Amino acid sequence: MDYLNDQLENEAKVILPDEGEWIAFGNSSVVLRLTSEDTNDRFGIYQITLDGGAEGAKLHYHRFMDETFIVEEGIVSLQAGTKKSGCRARNDCLHSPFYTSCF
């Protein structure tokens, strides 16, 4: 491979605060900022707002993309296999690599 002669793509994208597909369910919502379709199955960026005490996704996994969550407020927990992790502080992160079952 000749990395000095790669053909680069000009695919940079700015996502403004009011952009993305908004989906409401009960008192919770998700904004699809960048989907796996936008990133060739590498990752997605989703802004998720859950009502207090709400449950997120059921146990699942992704074959091609990691999931990373940044907590803006409240307490969020993640279970990956038998391991449970939690975040309490603003800007704490939870990360689940692809092929990891989690909820």
On the question of pLDDT at 10 being above 80, the answer is no
- The pLDDT score that the predictor gives to residue 24 is 92
Mean pLDDT, residues 4-29: 85
Residue 46, token pair as written in the block: 């989703």
CA-based angle 50:20:67, to the nearest 5? 55
Cα–Cα dist 54/13, whole Å: 32
Amino acid letter, residue 98: F
Decide: helix, strand or coil at residue 100: coil
The amino acid present at 49, given as its one-letter code, is T
Report the pLDDT averaged over residues 4-10. 78
Tell me how far CA of residue 103 lies from CA of 8, 76, 78, in angstroms.
Answer: 36, 11, 6
> What are 63-103's pLDDT values in tens digits?
888 877 778 888 877 777 777 877 776 788 877 787 777 66
